[in-house]
């Protein structure tokens, strides 16, 4: 049995071609989501297999590897191909959840508190560390713990933030280090990335996309703070490591530069 990297809030192990994870209070609802995806032949997510004799959930292993430092290529065409594939995977996922039967006893770790219609079951953490890559292309979507009913745009803006990315710091794969956003160097690529993503997803880019993006990051910052105050050790660690402060700084950065990317 091999312990897998990642898993901020729980230990994850690989056993043969399965993954073993500790259950949470919301796990039974997540299992229903995964079973629903399997029923609708969505092939980019893990399959829920059952519970082992130690009470851990058993999931199918999704091929590929996740990426910590992203983007892992400086080639803009390769980056755009990845962004396009992420959008296609997301669209199929969102559409598959439209018919998911919601009940009064559903339990979700995360919740959308905005005013938009909760049209799909958002994953809420679509990022390079939760996407497996095969031959350097997106393949599988993992770790559904944070999913909940929410509008499509909630997932879309977070994925854009992570995969374009719209962060202040950008990873330079050739130099193996992070650099600051440069408007002259990066503006056009970010604008092009938005077009590529929404074209692949199959919808118009909403005028308030960056308003939604900052709201999404604010919700994440609030989650980290609230859960740490409630005694959640994983989120307390994130707070101490500066994750909340980072997202608050990113919000201000996006507000300052959003007009350059539209």
The CATH number of whichever domain residue 8 belongs to comes to 3.30.200
Question: Residues 51-64: what's their mean pLDDT?
Answer: 96
The answer to whether residues 144 and 224 belong to one domain is yes
- Percentage, residues of the chain above pLDDT 90: 92
CA–CA distance, 206 with 198 (Å, rounded to integer): 10
The answer to whether residues 17 and 86 belong to one domain is no
Q: Give the chain's domain count.
A: 2
Flag whether 66 is in a domain: no
The answer to whether residues 135 and 42 belong to one domain is no
The answer to whether residues 187 and 231 belong to one domain is yes
Flag whether 24 is in a domain: yes
Q: Give 141's pLDDT tier (boundaries 50, 70, 90).
A: very high
Flag whether 68 is in a domain: no
**Rg, the chain, Cα only:** 18
The answer to whether residues 184 and 127 belong to one domain is yes
**pTM exceeds 0.75:** yes
Residue 9 has pLDDT above 60, yes or no: no
The answer to whether residues 211 and 112 belong to one domain is yes
Question: Residues 41-57: what's their mean pLDDT?
Answer: 97
Residue 1 has pLDDT above 70, yes or no: no
Give the domain range for residue 195: 76-261
The answer to whether residues 99 and 27 belong to one domain is no
Mean per-residue pLDDT over the chain, rounded:
95
Among 67, 249, 69, 83, CA closest to 164: 83
- Supply the pLDDT for residue 262: 87
Question: Residues 81-93: what's their mean pLDDT?
Answer: 99
- Supply the pLDDT for residue 11: 78
The answer to whether residues 176 and 244 belong to one domain is yes
The answer to whether residues 113 and 227 belong to one domain is yes
CA–CA distance, 1 with 129 (Å, rounded to integer): 21
Flag whether 138 is in a domain: yes
Question: Residues 242-257: what's their mean pLDDT?
Answer: 98
Question: Residues 12-17: what's their mean pLDDT?
Answer: 88
- Supply the pLDDT for residue 137: 98
Residue 5 has pLDDT above 70, yes or no: no
The answer to whether residues 82 and 41 belong to one domain is no
CA–CA distance, 123 with 144 (Å, rounded to integer): 6
The answer to whether residues 129 and 236 belong to one domain is yes
The answer to whether residues 51 and 83 belong to one domain is no
């Amino acid at each position: 049995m091999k312990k897998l990297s990642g898993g901020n809030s729980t230990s994850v192990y690989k056993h043969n071609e399965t993954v073993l994870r500790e259950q949470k209070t919301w796990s039974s609802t997540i299992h229903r989501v995964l079973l629903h995806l399997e029923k609708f032949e969505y092939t980019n997510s893990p399959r829920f297999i059952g519970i082992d004799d130690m009470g851990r959930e058993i999931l199918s292993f999704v091929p590929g590897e996740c990426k910590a430092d992203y983007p892992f290529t400086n080639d803009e065409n390769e980056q755009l191909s990845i962004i396009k594939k992420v959008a296609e995977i997301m669209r199929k996922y969102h559409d598959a959840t439209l018919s998911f039967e919601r009940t009064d006893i559903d339990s979700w770790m995360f919740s959308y508190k905005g005013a938009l219609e909760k049209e799909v079951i958002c994953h809420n953490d679509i990022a390079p560390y939760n996407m497996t890559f095969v031959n350097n292309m997106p393949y599988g979507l993992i770790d559904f713990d944070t999913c909940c009913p929410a509008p499509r745009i909630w997932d879309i803006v977070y994925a854009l933030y992570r995969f374009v990315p719209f962060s202040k710091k950008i990873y330079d794969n050739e130099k193996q280090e992070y650099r600051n956003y440069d408007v002259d160097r990066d503006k056009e690529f970010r604008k092009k990335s938005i077009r590529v993503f929404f074209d692949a997803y199959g919808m118009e880019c909403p005028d308030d996309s960056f308003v939604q993006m900052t709201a999404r990051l604010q919700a994440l910052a609030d989650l980290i703070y609230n859960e740490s105050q409630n005694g959640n050790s994983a989120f307390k660690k994130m707070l101490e490591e500066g994750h909340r402060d980072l997202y608050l700084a990113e919000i201000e950065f996006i507000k300052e530069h959003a007009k350059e990317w539209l």
